[in-house]
Amino acid sequence: MGVETSAAWQALQLHCDSGMGAMHLSSLFGEANRVDRFSLELDELYIDFSKNRITEETLSLLQALAEQQGLKHEIERLLVGEEVNDTEERPALHSALRAQGQDVSGVAEQVQGDVEAVLQKMTQMVDKIRAGHWRGYSGKPITDVVNIGVGGSDLGPLMITHSLQTVHSPVNLHFISSIDGTQTSNLLRGLNQETTLFILASKSFTTIDTLSNAETAKDWLRECIKSDDVIHAQHFIGVSTKPDKMTEWGIPPENQLLFWDWVGGRYSLWSAIGFPIALKIGMPGFRELLQGAHLMDQHFATAPLSENIPVVLGLIDIWNINFLNIHDKAILPYDARLKYLPSYLEQLVMESNGKSVAKSGDSVAYKTCPVLWGEVGPNAQHAFYQLLHQGTQAVMCDFIAPVERDDFDATSHAEKDESLRHQHELALANCFAQSRVLMLGDGAIPDNLKSSFDSPFKHYPGNQPSNTILMKTISAKTLGMLVAMYEHKTYVEGVMWGINSFDQWGVELGKLIAKETYSAIKEKTLAERFDSSTKALIDRVAK
Ligand code: F6P
């Protein structure tokens, strides 16, 4: 019997049916100090979850569900390194990667030596490249570093380095991921073989997307460099859990950075997969990122359920999804530096919880992961917010913004700084206005303007729930906290649904069939046993 038949679930259903389900968000704001009671703060992160259709009773019923599901115990099992990923028979120890020896026990403690050894090796390599001492084949210092990876071996470093774009870096960083080769050929056209270094990042070292891009990069280097040994020694660094495969590909051991199978791909930015981040901000900066995440880990481990940020946010998602029937989630950062956060969270959330079979092996009888997407908020306002405001879809939103900007002098009255401050305030005003209108709908229209909204086409139903997450600034530390918060929230939801958030069997079949299809494109007769649609598509390519 699934969680949906349990007493705690049924109590929530009753709570929903007897009023909360039909309640409009705007009616909840009559309560005094609502925001004080429905917000949490940790160091430089502030989370306002008051714009959700919840009361204190809702939260205590959700907490009862969490207790019934053994959430506290499951949090402990995750953090000490028990085998929470049961289909792959391994722990999920991303939190151990950022502990830097502090506050860990169990397997998480045992791996600290290995983790630190890789951090030390990263330090040597990062310092060498940033100081201009890593030389290309002709003796010139490296100026451009290209990360070749996909999924977790791309999105984390891409998202964090883009978010920290205002930090000066002595090398230019580039990312290529897509199998079609367009990114690779466009990028290589503008680079110089003498001064370009590639990072071949792949947990499994079998991903065809990454290996095919790496082969193209190697062929490009071969246009200038006769010896493959020189190419491998001076122009490639490998990051993987598979040293043998890296060696077989040609990468010498001294250029290899290792991580371990207990680091999930989408949880790997804290491992050597974060090498591009360290190149961008230096190793002290990378350690600040780890420290920020560790702060959130400690909070997750020790805060009571009712004050535990990832727990509360995860439980509110459960309420929205399973009781209020809201199955879409939009991630809306109000700072263009966070452009890749929605893509990053798409993988983290949907690859982790996009599942319909519980750990028991039974199909679940309730909804699990929402469809999650997003875009930089101000741009999205001019694209899909129409649907948020007037569509038929209920959507829960996360608004995310930095309170301060540190990339210009906010106290200076120089014209450029004045106008950037003005723009920052405009962005925040838009962020707060949107969450308010999505909550209140027509109720947000000022009295003196009501008559000009007297039309069915200008009706705003509101009642779209949202969280607002404010970071003091966008820094390595706050990004570490933010990402760890989302990781743990994802785990909390997985525990509530009784699913394994750490495997990804859903993507495996597609990979296998792509191989078979590739053979059929090369050898058309092999397509004979395919369906008529796929056969016709292959025929078109052949013609
Ligand atoms: O597409 C599935 C996936 O396995 C992701 O989980 C992973 O992040 C990505 O592929 C890349 O895998 P790898 O790092 O092994 O190349």
CA neighbor of 268 nearest in space, from 164, 353, 153: 153
Beta carbon of 210 within 6 Å of any ligand 1 atom: yes
For 177, other C-beta atoms within 10 Å of its C-beta total 20
Rounded Cα–Cα distance for residues 242 and 205 (Å) = 7
Which residues make Cβ contacts (< 8 Å) with residue 541, sequence separation at least 6? 521
Rounded Cα–Cα distance for residues 239 and 54 (Å) = 45
| CB burial readout 500-530, b (16+ within 10 A) else e | bbbbbeeeeeeeeeeeebeebeeeeeebeeb
Beta carbon of 507 within 6 Å of any ligand 1 atom: yes
pLDDT at residue 409, as a whole number: 74
**Burial label, 419 (beta-carbon count in 10 A; 0-12, 13-18, 19+):** exposed
Q: What are 101's two structure tokens? A: 């020896």
Helix, strand, or coil (residue 357): strand
Rounded Cα–Cα distance for residues 388 and 380 (Å) = 10
Beta carbon of 153 within 6 Å of any ligand 1 atom: yes
pLDDT at residue 408, as a whole number: 75
Alpha carbon of 374 to ligand 1 centroid (Å): 21
| Strand ranges, E, within 99-171 | 144-148
Pocket test for ligand 1, best of 175, 204, 348 (most atoms within 8 A of CB): 204
For 173, other C-beta atoms within 10 Å of its C-beta total 19
Q: Estimate the crossing angle of helix 56-68 against helix 476-497, to 10 degrees.
A: 70
Name the phi and psi angles at 135, rounded to 5: -105, 145
Task: Spell out the domain ranges in the chain.
Answer: 3-69+303-401+466-497, 94-279, 506-542
- Pick 94-279's CATH classification: 3.30.43.10, 3.40.50.460, 3.40.50.10490, 1.10.10.10: 3.40.50.10490
Catalytic residue flag (residue 351): yes
DSSP H helices in 263-363: 275-302, 309-318, 341-345, 352-353
pLDDT at residue 416, as a whole number: 79
pLDDT at residue 360, as a whole number: 94
pLDDT at residue 341, as a whole number: 98
Alpha carbon of 322 to ligand 1 centroid (Å): 29
Q: Which of 511, 515, 516, 524 is catalytic?
A: 511
Beta strand 395-402 with 328-333 is parallel
Q: Which residues of the chain have pLDDT under 70?
A: 410
Which residues make Cβ contacts (< 8 Å) with residue 49, sequence separation at least 6? 38, 39, 40, 312, 313, 316, 467
- At 290-304, the pLDDT tens digits run 999 999 999 999 999
Beta carbon of 208 within 6 Å of any ligand 1 atom: no
In this chain, the answer to whether the domains covering 3-69+303-401+466-497 and 94-279 adopt an identical fold is yes
Q: Which of 351, 375, 487, 493 is catalytic?
A: 351
Beta carbon of 152 within 6 Å of any ligand 1 atom: yes
Catalytic residue flag (residue 382): yes
Q: What is the pTM of this model?
A: 0.97
Q: Which fold has domain 3-69+303-401+466-497?
A: Rossmann fold (3.40.50)
Q: Estimate the crossing angle of helix 71-80 against helix 275-302, to 10 degrees.
A: 140
H or E element in which residue 458 lies: none
Instruction: Decide: 98 and 274 in contact? Cβ < 8 Å.
Output: no
